[in-house]
Amino acid sequence: MREHYREEIKDKKRIVVKVGTSSLIHPETGGLDLIKVERLVRELSDLHNQGRDVILVTSGAIGVGRKAAGLKEKPDRVSLKQACAAIGQARLMMIYQKFFAEYNQVAAQILMTRNTMLNQKNRRHAQDTFEELLELGAIPVVNANDSISTFEILHGDNDTLSAIVASLVEADLLILLSDIDGLYTDNPSLNPEAEFIPYVKELDGNLKSMGKDAVSGLGTGGMTTKLIAAELATSVGADMLIANGADMSVLHRIMDGQPYGTFFQANKDEQFDLKTFLEAHFS
Ligand SMILES: Nc1ncnc2c1ncn2[C@@H]1O[C@H](COP(=O)(O)OP(=O)(O)O)[C@@H](O)[C@H]1O
Ligand SMILES: N[C@@H](CCC(=O)OP(=O)(O)O)C(=O)O
CA of 68 to the centre of ligand 1 (A): 26
Whether 121 and 179 have beta carbons less than 8 Å apart is answered as no
Read off the pLDDT of residues 191-200 as tens digits, 9 standing for 90 and up: 999 999 999 9
Which amino acid, 188? P
pLDDT of residue 120: 85
Please give the share of the chain, as a percent, with pLDDT higher than 90.
Answer: 79
Instruction: Examine the pLDDT at 282 and tell me if it is beyond 80.
Output: no
Distance, CA of 169 to CA of 126 (rounded, Å): 9
180 in contact with ligand 2, CB cutoff 6 A: no
Distance, CA of 186 to CA of 215 (rounded, Å): 12
Taking CA atoms only, the protein residue closest to ligand 1 atom 7 is 187
13 is annotated as contributing to ligand binding: no
Read off the pLDDT of residues 246-280 as tens digits, 9 standing for 90 and up: 999 999 999 999 999 999 999 988 999 888 887 78
Residue 58 Ramachandran class (φ > 0 left, ψ -120 to 50 alpha, else beta): beta
Whether 172 and 237 have beta carbons less than 8 Å apart is answered as yes
Instruction: Examine the pLDDT at 203 and tell me if it is beyond 70.
Output: yes
Please give the share of the chain, as a percent, with pLDDT higher than 70.
Answer: 95
Mutate to test the pocket of ligand 2, among 23, 24, 62, 111 (most ligand atoms within 8 A of CB): 62
29 is annotated as contributing to ligand binding: no
pLDDT of residue 108: 98
pLDDT of residue 216: 59
CATH code of the domain containing 46: 3.40.1160.10
Taking CA atoms only, the protein residue closest to ligand 1 atom 26 is 214
Distance, CA of 198 to CA of 259 (rounded, Å): 8
Distances (CA, A) of 42 to 160, 205, 251, 258, 260: 25, 38, 10, 19, 19
Q: pTM of the predicted model, to two decimals?
A: 0.96
94 is annotated as contributing to ligand binding: no
Read off the pLDDT of residues 70-98 as tens digits, 9 standing for 90 and up: 999 989 999 999 999 999 999 999 999 99
Whether 78 and 220 have beta carbons less than 8 Å apart is answered as no
Q: How confident is the model at residue 221 (pLDDT cuts 50, 70, 90)?
A: confident
Domains held by the chain: number:
1
Distance, CA of 268 to CA of 122 (rounded, Å): 24
Whether 83 and 65 have beta carbons less than 8 Å apart is answered as yes
Read off the pLDDT of residues 143-184 as tens digits, 9 standing for 90 and up: 999 999 877 766 668 999 999 999 999 999 999 999 999 999
Q: Which of these, 219, 218, 257, lies nearest to 12 by C-alpha position? A: 257
Query: Which domain, by its residues, includes 10?
Result: 4-281
CA of 131 to the centre of ligand 1 (A): 32
Secondary structure, 3-state, 32-87? ECHHHHHHHHHHHHHHHHCCCEEEEEECCHHHHHHHHHCCCCCCCCHHHHHHHHHH
End-to-end CA distance of the chain: 45
Instruction: Examine the pLDDT at 141 and tell me if it is beyond 80.
Output: yes
Distance, CA of 263 to CA of 183 (rounded, Å): 9
Instruction: Examine the pLDDT at 233 and tell me if it is beyond 80.
Output: yes
Read off the pLDDT of residues 101-113 as tens digits, 9 standing for 90 and up: 999 999 999 999 8
234 is annotated as contributing to ligand binding: no
Q: What's the average model confidence in pLDDT over 228-242?
A: 97
Mutate to test the pocket of ligand 2, among 19, 25, 59 (most ligand atoms within 8 A of CB): 59
pLDDT of residue 1: 64
